[in-house]
Amino acid sequence: RMHLEAVLKSSVRHAKPAGLTLQYGTAGFRTKAEHLDHVMYRMGLLAVLRSKKTKSVIGVMVTASHNPEEDNGVKLVDPMGEMLVQEWEVYATNLANAEEHELQTALTNIIKEETINMQDESCVVIGRDTRPSSENLSLAVIDGVTAFESRYQDYGLVSTPQLHYIVCCRNTDGRYGEPTVEGYYQKLSKAFNDLVKQSPNSEADKKSLSIDGANGIGALKIREMEQHLQPLLSLLLFNDGSKGKLNHACGADYVKVLQKAPEGIDMKPGERCCSFDGDADRIVYYYKDNEHRFHLLDGDKIATLISTFIKELLVKVDLTLNMGVVQTAYANGSSTRYLEEIMKVPVYCAKTGVKHLHHKAQEFDIGVYFEANGHGTVLFSKRAEEQIRQLVDTGTSEESRKAAQMLKNVIDLINQTVGDAISDMLVIEAILSLKGLSVEKWDEIYTDLPNRQLKVKVADRRVIETTNAERRTIKPPGLQENIDEIVKKYHMSRAFVRPSGTEDVVRVYAEADTQENADALAHEVCLAVF
Ligand code: NG1
Ligand code: ZN
């Protein structure tokens, strides 16, 4: 058939190295950039098929997030700005792994199985991070899209959450916002400024916020947005990409895993600092105290701050909307206990990977989800949004109308499509300002249990299988019993292992009463895995 001829012809320029296999995992495809050209071309093709199938605009983001600069990756964005639906991940994997002579069959299979009408319209939007390899790889995506004669728009350098936002806008007739980067800045800055203007706390006692941009796209985008936030937020940007290497000794993942400040940032005692990751969909906060001790405020602390704030507003508007918090096994035990026992908020544990948290959070009127590593957002159901918007005008008291207005601003400020460092940062900054809360006071809400995360290289990580939201192993036989015995030797302890979905390693996590014990426990469990 005509359209496949063109596809096969162009594929020669993006030939797959024979024998190379990759898997569409929790974060799409991710590996060394030089192995990805054929994958990009084929994801361009797949995006066109997905677009025809859903009769919507589909996104393709070229990034490897917090991975080293030499890596790259690609993920597809579904119509409402969500991650690609799970059933299509299999198609992505099959398509990426088909040898050149199998490509036609792989494509025909998808078209047949999904009964795709190739005459249907399609449109793909493309974005990329700042990696040196990203531009050429995004051109390979475009080659795939045009081989199918599809419409497309290349948005160039954007953060991952900006592309998710754009996809959602394009498929909702602009009701979510203008489908441009400028539209994103307008929407978020208006909501932020409206929110912060209601703060009773004076400008004078506000310190500026220091941002570690991980030498990535987030730094670029913060520079563009900065002027929209004046004078309510003053920012100091470090690791802006002018000297350092992407994600090297900086960024949210580095800070979270090593529990220390990034290089290249100037920290003064008591001053708020935050780090983005390489594609700006994660954020963690931190500060150093007067004794120069480092304090981390990770995704769990962020989830607690945001859910507490929303819960307080819900009481004021007197709406009976249910709210739940979704975490993963990596959530610090103290955060879970605080949310359940003090805040009386139901907490759920999902498997690692945003799509799992996102789906669980959709079950609530208001679903707050965060991975401990700082990836997260808040989802408002249609019902919740409607009720809140209505109360802005019809609330029975001044106080309830004001609270409804704040909730409405939060809805506009949060990027509901995916975790977003910039959006989350603005939500946090607004809450701290409205509550007159310093970073130390926020940190004091609960005390983290000392913890350690390690990784172990094994011959084949797939020999480990887990259950119960990855908190226990069922394979290989005997491993869980071993871990249980080791954990028993420590106080207030917990540990689990799971195969990573993005790296060829097994991850080990441990918590205990002291840092020494958490470290020792993590080491012992590593040995049990090895
Ligand atoms: P893996 O490699 O499966 O642990 C990591 C993060 C996830 C998620 C993905 C996607 C940890 C422990 N794991 O997954 O939370 O962010 O990368 O980027 O942080
Ligand atoms: Zn990321």
Is 412 among the domain residues?
yes
What are the tens digits of pLDDT across the range 280-290?
Answer: 999 999 999 99
Largest CA distance in the chain: 71
Cα 66 to averaged position of ligand 1 atoms, centre (Å): 10
Is 305 among the domain residues?
yes
**Residue 203: its pLDDT value, please?**
58
Statement to judge: residues 287 and 303 lie in one domain: no
* ipTM of this complex: 0.98
Q: Which of 66, 275, 371 to mutate for ligand 1's pocket (most ligand atoms within 8 Å of CB)? A: 371
Statement to judge: residues 291 and 303 lie in one domain: no
Any idea which residue has 């999904």 for tokens? 114
User: Rounded to the nearest 5 degrees, what angle is found at the Cα of 471, between the Cα atoms of 466 and 474?
Assistant: 30
One-letter amino acid at 183 equals: G
Any idea which residue has 């420590």 for tokens? 490
Known binding residue 507? Answer is yes
Phi/psi of residue 347, nearest 5 degrees? -120, 135
Residue 206 token pair? 């506000």
What are the tens digits of pLDDT across the range 23-67?
Answer: 998 899 999 999 999 999 999 999 999 999 999 999 999 999 999
**Residue 206: its pLDDT value, please?**
66
Residues with CB under 5 Å of ion ligand 2 are: 65, 277, 279, 281
Measure the CA–CA gap between 445 and 447, rounded to whole angstroms: 7
Q: Which of 305, 82, 300, 74 is nearest to 172 (CA)?
A: 82
Answer whether residue 410 shows pLDDT above 60.
yes
Radius of gyration of the chain from Cα atoms?
23
Neighbours of 141 (CB within 10 A): 28
Q: Is 23 in the pocket of ligand 1 (CB under 6 A)?
A: no
Q: Are 204 and 261 in contact (CB under 8 A)?
A: no
Is 170 among the domain residues?
no
Arithmetic mean of pLDDT, 482-502: 96
What are the tens digits of pLDDT across the range 62-116?
Answer: 999 999 999 999 999 999 999 999 999 999 999 999 999 999 999 999 999 999 9
Measure the CA–CA gap between 451 and 453, rounded to whole angstroms: 7
Q: Which of 198, 70, 208 is nearest to 133 (CA)?
A: 70
**Residue 205: its pLDDT value, please?**
53
Domain boundary among 395, 415, 443: 443
Cα 206 to averaged position of ligand 1 atoms, centre (Å): 34
Statement to judge: residues 270 and 345 lie in one domain: no
Closest-approaching ligand to the CA atom of 502:
1
Statement to judge: residues 477 and 437 lie in one domain: no
Q: What DSSP letter does each residue of 295-319 carry, written as one string?
A: EEE-HHHHHHHHHHHHHHHHHHHT-
Q: How confident is the model at residue 1 (pLDDT cuts 50, 70, 90)?
A: low
Q: Which of 375, 345, 517, 342 is nearest to 447 (CA)?
A: 342
Predicted TM-score (pTM) of the model is 0.96
Statement to judge: residues 98 and 191 lie in one domain: no
Catalytic residue IDs: 65
Q: Is 298 in the pocket of ligand 1 (CB under 6 A)?
A: no
The range of the structural domain enclosing residue 419 comes to 299-443
Cα 448 from chain centroid (whole Å):
22
Answer whether residue 204 shows pLDDT above 60.
no
Q: How confident is the model at residue 423 (pLDDT cuts 50, 70, 90)?
A: very high
Protein residue whose Cα sits closest to atom 19 of ligand 1: 373
Beta strands in 239-342 (DSSP E): 273-276, 283-288, 294-297, 323-327
Known binding residue 281? Answer is yes
Answer whether residue 324 shows pLDDT above 60.
yes
Statement to judge: residues 200 and 227 lie in one domain: yes
Arithmetic mean of pLDDT, 127-139: 98
Counted domains in the chain:
4
